[in-house]
Amino acid sequence: MNRETQQLIRRASEGDMDAFAESFEPLRGMVYAVAYRLVGPDDADDVVMETYLKAWQALPRFRGRSSLKTWLYRIAYNCAIDMSRARHRRREQTLTPETPEQGMEKNLRDDRQETPDVVMAREETVEEVRRVLTKLSPEHRATLELRYSDGLSYNEIAAATGVSIGTVMSRLYYGKRQLRRIMEAEDAP
């Protein structure tokens, strides 16, 4: 972290709201993207607000052992998972597909000239993956999204979610396995 950022963080932790805004506002898009993917468009703004409130409250305890982005990412992730769990407890019905951030489409999109049938098949696959992702646990879904939509490394995912690298690897393995099983079961006659 550069000296200017350190000074802004110090001022913000002492209650300077302008310094807080200057430090954290550039990260709002990233926070919204995490929230959008994990809780959907209806609750994403609430998660962003909760994330910034918790960051403001916890800022005096921020020691700079991770980057500000990673620290805020973890807070956003935890807020989104908490909201997702609360929502799941409130309703014990089948989840409806939510529209994840466009990041997954970017990872699956091939910008070469393609025939319409190839484009349509790929779009159907993306929609199917999105729909099936909603059936996974919040932890598995988030880990898959962080890896394949955001392109985070295992270390970055571990830092963002507060789990060990072994847990990240396990969640990726079992999440992909569940995803494959659900998709295969739904394709079976």
Render pLDDT for 37-90 as a digit per residue (tens, 0 to 9).
888 888 889 999 999 999 999 998 888 888 888 899 989 989 988 888 777 666
Cα 9 to Cα 20: distance, rounded to the nearest angstrom = 7
Question: Are residues 140 and 174 in contact, defined by beta-carbon separation less than 8 angstroms?
Answer: yes
The whole-number pLDDT of residue 118 equals: 63
The whole-number pLDDT of residue 46 equals: 92
pLDDT band for position 97 (cuts 50, 70, 90): very low
Give the closest residue to 69 by CA, choosing from 152, 164, 172: 152
Question: Which domains does the chain show, CATH number per domain?
Answer: 3-187 (1.10.1740.10)
Q: Which class for 90: exposed (0-12), middle (13-18), buried (19 or more C-beta within 10 A)?
A: exposed
pLDDT above 70 for 166: yes
* Percentage of the chain modeled with pLDDT above 70: 78
Question: Are residues 17 and 24 in contact, defined by beta-carbon separation less than 8 angstroms?
Answer: no
Give the closest residue to 133 by CA, choosing from 122, 109, 116, 149: 149
For residue 127, the one-letter residue type is E
